[in-house]
Structure 1
């Protein structure tokens, strides 16, 4: 296959590109500074794409967007998070719709932030959006694929959970304090954490490139865990104590940090991957301890 990927330098995008190329597929990286072989240049702010490089593709995976945790959760950062997703998705969607040889499928990034803070409620793809900034971003983000959908492109929205990798993301940031024995639950620890291993996230995207699936797809493992269980399991895998909690008042910290802490650590979303399950996808890592031991190369005793 010949697959275009935006966000190809990120944690998920780089793993996807390596997986596809490792199996002999041709990856076209959509980048801000093109000119190298195998790349297509785009400029989101200018609203331009080298569309000729996207003709005749077998699929597009759109992962580009400003990182939620890449800066203080200020108004400027929130605007960058929203606009990097909506403008980029709209530009790509319009461009694909106008091609002579359109790709049959677009996998477009989204996130479990769509559901917001929902306590113990079980959330599947048909559940309504939550309230707050992140749900609003995800709703607007997903809406911007409409041009491609109207042109007959099969669109799947990748509602990504917490992706576990030793090389980055949420787990990568937690490893050092946990190894130092400084890990602990966030608040009461009863909030749900929908997780997925990086390997399974990549496998799910590759599955969706050819599966007859469209609309929202929760990219999470089938067994979400509560924060306290995640903390205890990670501590056990690392052989370290987990007795230093993150106090609940951390969600009210000043300087724009509080809302970010609130969304990433204290929000509860019991998300289940109903669409992937019904489509016949199988996980390599469906249990948290097995996933962490594999990722961290810590076999069971």
Structure 2
């Protein structure tokens, strides 16, 4: 199986690539786990560091290549929580998602042998800030910048269906791993004993372990590839979140317990807004997002608690 990944060098992309190339001890699911996949990362830097087992393709090469791929996985995009949201940053966040997606659409339109699936990233930010209201793939949204960026990304990716390529839109929550993502950014202050809750601590955090994210992606790919042509869904939305969202206070306590450090500090809401401006909504406004579509596929989570996710091996 040949798989093209945009954003392959990122936190999730690297773990997914490693798994697809043979580290299959974290899943019970079928077809892609039986043979090691050939992975190509789509990149703007053809000289970037990468595993020897991974091939690189530039966006310029994508314009003319005759190479074909069974599955395309679209994860490219600047980190939404990495910097304060200035007007310039907002533009970068949007274009860093839309430009790679458009490049993939141009390739899909041009190539005769179409991929069997485009799995395209998004985030639970699509739902906007809705507090502790229970949300699933059928729920509506609150219009804010997080929604706008996710909605634009999803809308563009969905255009692949016009060329006969099914699309799986993946709305990801906070991805938990002991050595990467959000946890990596929190380790230093928490180890120093100055970690603590954000604002009221009541805001709900929808999360998923990195291992479960990878396993869920494999299941979605397998489900699509194993369907008969007449049964193939043109587009499907999946929430990649655990079934046990937690409050920020609960998350803080579990992270402190894991590190054996106190978590007595509180960053008040007014200070977070002063420090981060509009981006503070990611920290102080919650979303309670459940993975109904994954559960309907029979997916079983390995990590139901933050503590389990912090002890995962992948």
Give the alignment's TM-score, normalised by structure 2. 0.86
**1 CA distance for matches of 2:95 and 2:179?**
27
Q: Provide Cα deviations, 1:239-273, integer angstroms capped at 9, x if missing partner.
A: 1111101111123216xx2222x233112100000
1:281 — aligned with what? 299
**2 CA distance for matches of 1:295 and 1:236?**
19
Q: Secondary structure at the match of 2:267?
A: coil
**2 CA distance for matches of 1:184 and 1:147?**
43
Is 1:38 the counterpart of 2:58? The answer is no
Is 1:216 the counterpart of 2:237? The answer is yes
2:278 — aligned with what? 259
Of the candidates 235, 238, 241, which is equivalent to residue 256 of structure 2? Answer: 235
- 1:33/1:42 contact within 8 Å kept: no
Task: Extract structure 1 runs of 4+ deviating beyond 6 A.
Answer: none
- 2:66/2:111 contact within 8 Å kept: no
Shift in alpha-carbon separation, 1:287–1:131, aligned structure 2, 3 A:
same
Is 1:6 the counterpart of 2:19? The answer is no
Shift in alpha-carbon separation, 1:161–1:73, aligned structure 2, 3 A:
same
Q: Which runs of 5+ in 2 are unaligned?
A: 24-35, 49-53, 225-232
Q: Secondary structure at the match of 1:145?
A: helix
The number of residues matched between the two structures is: 288
Q: Secondary structure at the match of 1:185?
A: strand
Q: Provide Cα deviations, 1:260-296, integer angstroms capped at 9, x if missing partner.
A: 2x23311210000010011111111122222223369
Q: Provide Cα deviations, 1:90-127, integer angstroms capped at 9, x if missing partner.
A: 22123213310011101001011101110111010111
Is 1:198 the counterpart of 2:199? The answer is no
Is 1:16 the counterpart of 2:40? The answer is no
Is 1:80 the counterpart of 2:92? The answer is yes
Structure with more relative contact order (C-alpha pairs < 8 Å, separation 6 or more) = 2
- Residue 61 (structure 1) shift: 0.6
**2 CA distance for matches of 1:268 and 1:35?**
40
Q: Provide Cα deviations, 1:15-43, integer angstroms capped at 9, x if missing partner.
A: 11111112521101111133898222105
Q: Secondary structure at the match of 1:77?
A: helix
1:92 — aligned with what? 104
- 2:133/2:287 contact within 8 Å kept: yes
- 2:211/2:312 contact within 8 Å kept: no
Q: Which runs of 5+ in 1 are unaligned?
A: 297-301
Query: Residues 95-134 of structure 1 correspond to what in structure 2 (within 5 A)?
Result: 95-134=107-146
Of the candidates 58, 65, 75, which is equivalent to residue 52 of structure 1? Answer: 65
Q: Secondary structure at the match of 2:120?
A: strand
**2 CA distance for matches of 1:54 and 1:145?**
20
Shift in alpha-carbon separation, 1:163–1:35, aligned structure 2, 3 A:
closer
2:180 — aligned with what? 168
- Residue 53 (structure 1) shift: 4.9
**1 CA distance for matches of 2:63 and 2:194?**
48
Give the alignment's TM-score, normalised by structure 1. 0.90
- 1:161/1:195 contact within 8 Å kept: yes
**2 CA distance for matches of 1:177 and 1:85?**
31
**2 CA distance for matches of 1:105 and 1:247?**
44
